Amino acid sequence: MENEAELVSQIEALAGKLGQAKASITHRFIGQEKVVDLVLSALVCGGHGLLIGVPGLGKTRLVDTLGTVMGLDDSRIQFTPDLMPADIIGSEVLETGADGSRSFKFIEGPVFCQLLMADEINRASPRTQSALLQAMQEREVTVAGEHRALGAPFHVLATQNPIEQEGTYPLPEAQLDRFLVQINVDYPDRETERDIIVATTGLSDRESAQVFTAAELLEAQSVLRRMPVGDKIVDLILDLVRACRPDDPSAPEAVRTNVSWGPGPRAAQALMLTVRARALLDGRLAPSPEDVVAMAEPVLLHRMALSFAARARGESLADLIRSVAQGVTRVEAAA
């Protein structure tokens, strides 16, 4: 049985290191503390993140900075309508040797990295988007019948423009579900925007320092999964996820009326991991009900859909999730 004092020491050390990583990231990616927390949570949980925001908010800069700070081999793919699966995973080419012999040689695609930025992922065709499905879930790709392992760790941070939908292909639910969290990148406030323009329009740019190595990130993911989660938190997560399914008896009227389909078990798994990550980033040894409420929106937003009637009425899925999470928490507290 693992020594409790040793685990506590590892959790505290990891919390301190994550604090250093966050400070290094925000030195170059100014402001947007919630976005940085969610991206760090995705990495330390071993998952992928979907960043949604209009152009020019620094999403590419954030991913580039993450690669430096976390010590990961990073790569970038600009998704376009003419992008093919082979452009992502690679392909075999016929190679002729000096002696005239011929053999096939596999040329790795940009997916063979540790941190992949999939820029404007919804611009590629469904066929090309599907090339990422196996990579994201199984950390490997299959080419010509041969399984080829990807980097370890392997994370995908995809970006999506929410305002320009012409010529795009919405991600299917199966692929959305493979993202641990949806991260909405909003406009910065006035003071943050002032700091950004002053810091980024001079002769030199700010640089971030490396804090983690790939091996240390893998160890951090192991430590996170050993963090204790109380039975009340587990029950709260289950109550929340099940209450967001319109056909579940525990679902409130607002969910049954406005939601066409709800989250599956993978959402509960994601909450179990991300509430631990949020506690870690806050320097705590175990998650609390407040962590469940805070992580409900980024974990559930892309795993649910409003009905056509609800969209026509202008209902907000984010507001609904927050309302259900707060209601479930109040019921749990009163029990």
Query: What pLDDT digit, counting tens, does each position of 65-81 carry?
Result: 999 999 999 999 998 88
Q: Quick check: 246 pLDDT over 60?
A: yes
Which residues of 220-326 form beta strands (DSSP E)? 259-261, 305-306
Per-residue pLDDT at 165: 65
Nearest to 107 by CA among 93, 127, 119, 121: 93
Separation CA 320–CA 301 (nearest Å): 10
Q: For residue 276, is pLDDT > 50? A: yes
Give the model confidence (pLDDT) of 108-123 as tens digits. 889 999 999 999 888 8
Instruction: Give the type of residue at 129.
Output: Q
Q: What is the CA radius of gyration of the chain?
A: 21
What is the rounded average pLDDT for all residues in the chain? Answer: 89
Among 1-5, 186-190, 263-267, name the most confident range.
263-267
pLDDT at 335: 61
Asked if the model's pLDDT at residue 287 lies above 80, the reply is yes
List, in order, residues 6 or more apart from 265 with CB less than 8 Å away. 241
- The DSSP element (H or E) to which 174 belongs, if any, is helix 173-176
Q: Express each pLDDT in 24-39 by its tens digit.
A: 999 888 888 899 999 9
State the pLDDT at residue 319: 93
pLDDT, residue 1, reads 46
- SS3 call for 111: coil
Q: Which domains does the chain have, with CATH numbers?
A: 1-225 (3.40.50.300), 227-335 (1.10.8.80)
Asked if residue 136 has pLDDT above 60, the reply is: yes
For residues 50 and 154, what is the distance between their CA atoms, to the nearest angstrom?
A: 15
- Give bridge partners of residue 155 from the DSSP assignment: 115
Dihedral (CA of 301, 309, 247, 329) sign: positive
Question: For the chain, what percent of residues have pLDDT higher than 90?
Answer: 53
DSSP lists the bridge partners of residue 306 as 259
The predicted structure's pLDDT at residue 208: 86
Looking at residue 332, its pLDDT comes to: 67
Q: What is the pLDDT of residue 167?
A: 63
Q: What is the Cα–Cα distance from 294 to 304, expressed in whole angstroms? A: 17
Instruction: Indicate the range of 40-49, 173-182, 203-212, 310-319 predicted with least confidence.
Output: 203-212
Is the pLDDT at 61 greater than 80? The verdict is yes
**What pLDDT score was predicted for residue 97?**
73
Render the burial of 287-306: b for 16+ CB within 10 Å, e for the rest. Answer: bbbebbbbbbbbbbbbbbbb
Distance CA 244, CA 210 (A): 40
